[in-house]
Structure 1
Amino acid sequence: MMLSRRRFLQTSTAMLLVPVGVRAASSDLVAQAAAQQIAPDGYPTTPVWTYGGSVPGFDIRVRQGERVQRTLVNNLPQPTAVHWHGIRIANAMDGVPGLTQEAVEAGASFDYDFVVPDAGTYWYHSHNRSMEQVARGLYGPLIVEEASPPDVDRDLMLMLDDWRLDPDTAHIVNDFDNGHDLSHAGRLGNLVTVNGRFDPDYPVGTAERLRLRLINASNARIYDLSLDGLSGWIVALDGMPLEQPLPVEETFPLAPAQRVDLIVDVTAKAQEIASLVSVERDGGFGLARFPVSEGAAATPRQGIDPLPPNSMPEVQYDDAPLHRMVLQGGAMRWLEAAKIGDTELTGRELAQLGRFWALNGYAERPKDPFLDARLGQTHRIEFVNETAFPHAMHLHGHHFRIVLPDGSLGPWRDTVLVERGQSRQIALVADNPGDWLLHCHMLGHAASGMMSWFRVS
């Protein structure tokens, strides 16, 4: 389907790929304003907030077990902080103002220094005024490479994001206090990019094998993905390898903050175009386009081996205590009342404060932890979604196992999508000491009430 540039800005239905080149390593992570060609050629550049001058920020690649050392230098007009999403790191490095550190004021700096224990696909992003700062571009990939990487011809990082741009100026629409967004599905954009660019091609050869690392950096958009001219497997979710690769036969979802690693073979013929496809209500549209030429590989590789596993704790949850977290509020199921601190407010009072959601009756991070766990204990959490919208629930500092409906354990994840009216149960081994955030990663939902925390000691 061919779209005009104007129609593209209006509908946000087509997305294409731009590769991220190798970038020089730096001890500084400079949060700064810049301008980038987010909209199609012919539109003005878009003022953005960046790490290092471009969106996404620096492609940080390290080996498993290596140390990441970055000094955040804040050259922005707002305080900020960096959260290293999905990495099981020391609590002081987690980057949550008011819980693990103070926000880094404009003109100030903060040293992050941690070891990455797990290979996989992760990312980093602002965790202060996240709905705005992430929407302005403050994010980047963190790739932790295996000691024995898989046999692929190329390893590509694809960071998906949607932007809400003014169609005339291509500036980011400054409506971050929009009550409709906060109380409904969240901030959805009108232009979707991959790696901060619109409409590039990425040439490949026939029968090449690719590793595609997909990261959803969007504020609230859930992608439903499929392959065309590519055949392959899901090999990891949220950075953690699957015990057995899962063939991609139909569509698969990617919620905000989630990652999926694919290993795919190019099955399209020379002169054809392979695609990563977003399945929408009105059809499928290209996310990433791969023009195919004659390649060096004469025949496709046969089969696939699992990625090497990370060292994860054994989960024995049969006798683990169960904690119920009820997701409440939002449009169509408005809060009647909820607490902020020790004060219970009416729904009208909460709405006046920009609070439309609650977790277990709290419309803000409560004073006491939702869960107070001893180090090494296993706990179950049941997310019960009583709202009319889906939520991507994220735990800091830990991965957890999904508990499947039959009681068996599903994959390791750090963000679980809980659909409207659905309950999802997870099993968590509390093996990382500290105070850790638990929140919805639809960032507008977190900003307007869906935020809690748990303690491991």
Structure 2
Amino acid sequence: MLFESYLNYDIEVALFLTLLWGTSAVLVARKPRHRSDKRGRRRATFMLVLVALGWLGVAGRLVTTALMGSFDYLFVADRVAVALPLVILPAVAVLVLAVPRWLAHRRNPSAETRLATFAPQAVVPFQATALGALTGFVTAILVTMGPPQLVPILTIYVGFLTVLVGLWLWQQYRYRVAANGGPVRRSLPVRAVRGVAVVAVFALVLVGGLSWAANETVLPGRMNMTDHAHGGVSASGAHGHGGGRTVSVADLTGPRSETPDRKFTLVAEAQKLRLASGKEVDAWLFNGQSPGPELRVKKGELIEVTVHNKVPDTSVSVHWHGVDVPNAEDGVAGVTQDAIQPGGTHVYRFRPDEVGTHWYHSHQQSSIQVKKGLFGPLIIEPEQSDLAPGTQDLIVSAHTWYEDKLPLEPPALFGTIDQLERRKMAPGTPVRLRLINTDGATHRYSLTGTPFKVVAIDGNPVNEPTEVAGKQLVIGGGGRYDVEFAMPAQPVRLTELRRYGKELRVVEGGLLFSADGTGDVPPDKPQETFDPTTYGSPLPTEFGRDSKFTKTHSLVFDNELWFYDGKFTVVWASNGMAFPKAPSLTVREGDLVKVRFANRSHFDHPMHLHGHHVLVLSRNGKPATGSPLWLDTVNVEVGEIWEVAFKADNPGLWMDHCHNLDHAAAGMMSHVIYEGVTTPYEVGHDTPNELE
């Protein structure tokens, strides 16, 4: 929260600088007229006050940059390279070149000293500072820049200097005219026509520029995900690993000829869904229920899932979140398959090599379809059960339903139950709560009435978990926590918390256990958060912080107000770019890859890499010291930096995106692509496959 405050202050200061120096630039460019000594001194004093206030704003921008930079230099690299120099250097020129002339005019307010304040060296520094302040504001909130990159920096500086040269020449001409007595005064009609022409040209340039900018962001009707060669992504088949060998995504399937151990059928349908509160929503459901049917299997079993699509006018697909399936079974429309058309069927086959709490959901327009209910739990049990005898094993899949695009509160913890759910639980009963966040926003929980253990995170068991009490659990979009406790004699309550500024508030609803299903317990609002990077005991891992990495990749997350697919909206950018220009990563099989996430936007970003689990190396510069933290969804909160690593051991073309699916749909998605991998599928408005 502290970083977000600094970020907001920085943007506010950038706006203040733009308005203040812009006002100064307009005032100093007014034609010089000397009417009285008193008015001259007053005007000079006012301009000097504006300069002082302007420098106060410059100092404020330095302070906010330093405060943001105290988190990490990545958060301010573009400001140091562009925004600060473009306002500080011209502001120094104002002090050196313009202020002495205004001081002289204040001491001796004559026509000559007023004319001196109209010279180019007295006017252009103000204009340059205003232009620099505007550039700093634009790059802070409109079109943001990622880590300093040479081409964008040079483009900005060349454009800035070009405008300055034009301003200097124009002011030089105006100064000569003023020094020679001023121009011949035109008649009113001529001045009116000239003013209208100037306004018309400016409007045409502005509208034309914005139209061009909007058109530049329109996504192609058809895209192959191996063709947007940005951030190191090679064209399809280029530099193939293994003597130029290429392989199609369509051939990277699970076992096709073996007899499956478990067979499931999922039918996607559109239905009206009535919540426990009586509210009704238009939903899309698997097998007519929310969440969809629980798929519970054993590690190593061959699973076959047949998906039928009965949703009218809507195609679907199914992704197995957190399961490292073969690439063709990943269920991403336009990347690993064509979407399942209405009336169509698709069969998925895979043999999971992991255990724990996972989930499945649609990956065709998932920012819409998951919200509408196309999701369900996937539980992969070890060959020998890790549950104590008599354990009550409960899946708590938090989901926010929407009505007319507005969220309904509170979220439902059990499909349709959007009220406080009371359950009988005999004292002494072992309880496992499998918490699944099916929303995009971060969920915060408190468990009141008993200490508990976090026994698994993203399905991966925690080594030697210890008891936790008085801490909130923070679960990003798509993430999962498995929590265990022994039911005590008194009631136990699971409650969701929401943060409003620095205040934590209790969300209505939740889950209450008691011996007879009655009673109550006031929910806790713990300020301290559970830290998964220091929890549990270490174990040896195949690689770690000191390993030699063959690839490194850094992503800085921003939100900006700009165009995306031709519409003015909030764009979620990585390194200053949105899909399909966002930086993707090309790897070879066997590569050891380190990735750094830095979030300087206004929202959490749960980053989800398909087909792989990442090992957390550090969080905010502090090494991970607890049980090895293997994640499939890394929730990077505002102002945080995470370092993670993964081994490239599952060939394919893999989505790598924010699992706040609205963010992915507005630009925050890219890919990890193995060299030599091609795909026959395309995505875009002219294909059956839609973007997030």
Confirm or deny a common fold (TM above 0.5).
yes
C-alpha spacing 1:313/1:111, structure 2 compared with 1 (3 Å): farther
Answer yes or no: is 1:204 the counterpart of 2:406: no
Shift in Å, 1:358: 1.6
Shift in Å, 1:401: 0.9
2:608 to 371, 391, 394: 394
1:363 to 549, 559, 578: 578
C-alpha spacing 1:408/1:234, structure 2 compared with 1 (3 Å): closer
For structure 1, the residue ranges without an aligned partner over 5 or more in a row are 1-24, 165-171, 176-187, 295-308, 335-346
Answer yes or no: is 1:214 the counterpart of 2:435: yes
Q: CA RMSD in A?
A: 2.4
Shift in Å, 1:194: 1.2
Answer yes or no: is 1:127 the counterpart of 2:383: no
Answer yes or no: is 1:160 the counterpart of 2:398: yes
For structure 2, the residue ranges without an aligned partner over 5 or more in a row are 1-261, 499-503, 518-536, 676-692
Between the aligned partners of 2:374 and 2:569, the Cα distance in structure 1 is 23
The amino acid that maps onto 2:363 is H
Answer yes or no: is 1:406 the counterpart of 2:406: no
The amino acid that maps onto 1:385 is N
SS of the aligned residue for 1:192 comes to coil
Segments of 4+ moved more than 6 angstroms: none
C-alpha spacing 1:123/1:373, structure 2 compared with 1 (3 Å): same
Who is 2:510 aligned against?
Answer: 287
1:84 to 284, 303, 320: 320
C-alpha spacing 1:69/1:350, structure 2 compared with 1 (3 Å): closer
The amino acid that maps onto 1:229 is G
Tell me the alpha carbon deviations over residues 180-204 of structure 1, each in whole angstroms, 9 at most, x when there is no partner. Answer: xxxxxxxx54331012122332210
2:264 to 14, 20, 27: 27
Who is 2:68 aligned against?
Answer: none
SS of the aligned residue for 1:190 comes to coil
C-alpha spacing 1:384/1:351, structure 2 compared with 1 (3 Å): farther
Who is 2:37 aligned against?
Answer: none
Contact 2:564 2:571 in 1 (8 A): no
2:474 to 250, 253, 256: 253
C-alpha spacing 1:258/1:202, structure 2 compared with 1 (3 Å): same
Contact 1:225 1:276 in 2 (8 A): yes
Who is 1:241 aligned against?
Answer: 461
Contact 2:293 2:377 in 1 (8 A): yes
The amino acid that maps onto 1:162 is T
Q: TM-score, normalised by structure 2?
A: 0.52
Contact 1:317 1:379 in 2 (8 A): no
Who is 1:229 aligned against?
Answer: 449
C-alpha spacing 1:96/1:50, structure 2 compared with 1 (3 Å): same
Q: TM-score, normalised by structure 1?
A: 0.77
SS of the aligned residue for 1:328 comes to strand
C-alpha spacing 1:119/1:352, structure 2 compared with 1 (3 Å): same
SS of the aligned residue for 1:245 comes to coil
1:454 to 672, 680, 688: 672
Who is 2:339 aligned against?
Answer: 103
Alignment of 1:283-432 (within 5 A): 283=506, 286-293=509-516, 314-318=542-546, 319-320=548-549, 321-330=551-560, 334=561, 347-348=562-563, 352=567, 354=569, 356-366=571-581, 370-404=584-618, 405-408=621-624, 410-432=628-650
C-alpha spacing 1:193/1:378, structure 2 compared with 1 (3 Å): same
Tell me the alpha carbon deviations over residues 357-405 of structure 1, each in whole angstroms, 9 at most, x when there is no partner. Answer: 12233321449x7221121221110111121211111110111111123
Shift in Å, 1:435: 0.7
Aligned residues: 377
Shift in Å, 1:412: 0.6
Contact 2:563 2:569 in 1 (8 A): no
Contact 2:431 2:485 in 1 (8 A): yes
Higher helix share: 2
1:173 to 404, 412, 428: 404
C-alpha spacing 1:395/1:75, structure 2 compared with 1 (3 Å): same
Between the aligned partners of 2:422 and 2:340, the Cα distance in structure 1 is 38
Contact 2:554 2:597 in 1 (8 A): yes
Contact 1:31 1:76 in 2 (8 A): yes
Who is 1:445 aligned against?
Answer: 663
The amino acid that maps onto 1:192 is P
SS of the aligned residue for 2:576 comes to coil
2:299 to 55, 58, 64: 64
Contact 1:82 1:95 in 2 (8 A): yes
Between the aligned partners of 1:35 and 1:274, the Cα distance in structure 2 is 33
SS of the aligned residue for 1:96 comes to coil
The amino acid that maps onto 1:155 is D
Who is 1:180 aligned against?
Answer: none
Shift in Å, 1:57: 0.4
Shift in Å, 1:207: 1.5
Query: What is the aligned-residue identity percentage?
Result: 33
Rg comparison, structure with higher value: 2
Contact 1:34 1:53 in 2 (8 A): yes
SS of the aligned residue for 2:335 comes to coil
Higher strand share: 1
Tell me the alpha carbon deviations over residues 317-371 of structure 1, each in whole angstroms, 9 at most, x when there is no partner. Answer: 53213211121224xxx3xxxxxxxxxxxx346671656112233321449x722
